[in-house]
A = this chain, B = another copy of it.
Amino acid sequence: MIRRVTLDLPRRFFAKMSQNSAAAPTKTSKLQVSLKTPKGTKDWADADMVIREAVFSTLSSLFKRHGGVTIDTPVFELKEILAGKYGEDSKLIYDLKDQGGELCSLRYDLTVPFARYVAMNNISAIKRYHIAKVYRRDQPAMTKGRMREFYQCDFDIAGNYESMVPDGEILSILVEGLTGLGIKDFKIKLNHRKILDGIFQVCGVKDEDVRKISSAVDKLDKTPWEAVKKEMTEEKGQTEETADKIGEYVKLNGSLQEIHSTLSKDPVLSTNELAKQGLEEIASLMNFTKAFGVDSYISFDLSLARGLDYYTGLIYEAVTAASAPPEGASELKKKAKSEEDDASAYVGVGSIAAGGRYDNLVNMFSQASGRKSNQIPCVGVSFGVERIFSLIKQRHASAAIKPTATQVFVMAFGGGKDWTGYLPERMKVAKELWKAGIEAEYVYKSKANPRKQFEAAEKSGAPLAVILGKEEYLEGKLRLKRLGQEYADDDGELIDADDVVKIVKQKLLSLHEDGVDEVTRLIKGI
C-alpha cells in the first residue's frame, strides 16, 4: 500500500523551490526530493490503523484491569539518561543533533524513561502502563514487523513487594494479553539472571566477563552452539573447558518443575549462592503461575539471556512459530545484496512480548543524580505490537473492515430549474445528528445527482441514509432508508423532520445490537 520512490538527489533544492511556488520545477529539472518515509518507518492508515487501534484498546483495558495507571514521557531524553543501559545495543540509539542546549536521544525503550520517572518523583510504588513509540537504528524487516520506529505496550510494577508476587502477575498479564489478541500457540521462554550468572561462575567465567558471555549465549536462538562457542573462546577469552561446561547447562529446557528439580540436584550449581537465590525464587513463582493457571505456557530455558544490561532477576520472552527465522535463512542472508533495504526474507518475527525484573535501575538514577539511595525493585513486560500485528494480519483479509465510523449519509433529491440542491439544508440536518453524537456525512456539492450521492454513501460504509426530498422537505418530512445492495428497492420510510435524531438513534441501536463487529472478530481471532 505504501509506495516508495527513492531518489538520491541533491537536498536543499526543495527549500528554495517552495519559497516561491512560481519557481516549481520544469520537466527538465533534475532536482528532486524523495517522497518517502525514513528507512525503517512507515505510515499507518485505513484498515491497518483500525486494527492497530483495536489492539491498543485491548491492551489498555487489560492493563487497567490489573490496576495500571498510565504515564506519558517525552519521545527524547537527555542523552546521559540512556547511556550505559543497553549493552552492545547502545550503538542503535538515535541522537538528536546538537543545536545548542542539552544533548538528547530518542528513547530506545519505555523502561529506562520509566525508571527515570520513578527516581525523579521519589515514587515508592506504582503499576504503570505506557503505550508509545520507541526508536532503534537497526536493520529493518518491515513485513516481519521489525522496524526502526515501533510501538511498545509496557506494563511494569515498581515497589518493594513479597518475592515473585508481582512477577507472577506479570506472567499472567503476558498470557492474558496474547490470548486476548487471538494468539494461542505461543510459549514463554523463561530464565533467571541469577541462575545464569551462577552457572557462569561455576563454569569459571570471571565476574567482569559475565555480561559479555551472557550476550553471546543470548544469540543461541538464531545461531548454532558451535558459533556461540567460538565467540566465547576466540573473541571473548574463555577456555574450551569453560565454554563446554556452559554448553551443557544452556541446552537444558523444560517445565519450571523439571528444570528446577534438575538444577536443585546439581551438586556444583546448588552450592553457588547466586544460583541458590534464583532457584528459591523459581520455587515461589511456581505457586503463583499455578494459581493464575499460566504454567502450561512456560518453558524454563537456560539459553535465554536477553541482551539488556539492566535485568537482575527473572527474564522471559514469548515466542511463536513465526518468531524463528525462515528455513535456509543464513543462505538467504548471504545472497541478499549488501545494500538490501529490508531483512524480511531472512529473519523471523522475533519475540512478540518480553520482559524481566530490574531491581537496580531506579536506584542507579537516584544515586547518579546525587540523591539518597532509593531501591525500588521493578518487573515488567513489553508487548511488540507491530510484530503481533503482522501475525493478526496473516489470519484473514481485513478487507471487511471499514475505516470510517459513518452511520448516516444525508442526501437531497430534486430537480428542475429552481432546484438549489439543498446544501445548507443538508448541513443543518447533519449538524443536528452531530450534536446528538451520530456520525454523519453528505456530499460537498450544491447539486449532486442521486447516483453520485449513493456512491459516496456506499464508500463511507454508512448503513442509513436520511434523504431530503424536494417537496417532502418543504412539508417538514425526511426519508429514512437502509443502505446496501439488498435494500436497493426499498424506498424507506417518511418521518417528521423534528424526530430525525430520535428515530435514527433507535434504528442504529437495533442495527448494532446483534453481536461482534469485524475488527473484534479479527483481533480476537474468532
Contact = CB atoms under 8 A, between A and B. Distances in A.
Nearest to A128: B45
A248 interface: no
Contacts of A78: 33-34, 36-38
A74 B41 contact: yes
Interface in A317-373: 360, 364-371
A73 B43 contact: yes
Interface residues of A, number: 127
A352 B291 CA distance: 51
Interface in A66-89: 66-81, 83-85
Contacts of A417: none
Given A291-B431, A427-B291, A99 B18 contact: no
A166 B423 CA distance: 12
Interface in A104-130: 104, 106, 116-117, 119-122, 128
Contacts of A287: 423-424
B431 A309 contact: no
A326 to B, nearest CB: 26
B431 A18 contact: no
B369 A35 contact: yes
A61 B18 contact: no
Contacts of A116: 35
B137 A24 contact: no
A162 interface: yes
A220 B324 CA distance: 62
B168 A14 contact: no
A440 B78 CA distance: 37
A162 B444 contact: yes
Given A5-B120, A5-B371, 12 more contacts: A2-B120, A3-B121, A13-B368, A35-B365, A38-B76, A38-B77, A41-B76, A43-B71, A65-B439, A95-B96, A169-B444, A176-B435
Interface of A: 1-3, 5, 7, 11-21, 24-25, 32-39, 41-46, 49, 52-53, 61, 64-81, 83-85, 94-99, 101-104, 106, 116-117, 119-122, 128, 133, 135, 137, 149, 159, 161-162, 165-166, 168-169, 172, 176, 208, 211, 287-288, 290-293, 309, 360, 364-371, 403-406, 423-425, 427-428, 431, 434-435, 437-441, 444-446, 460
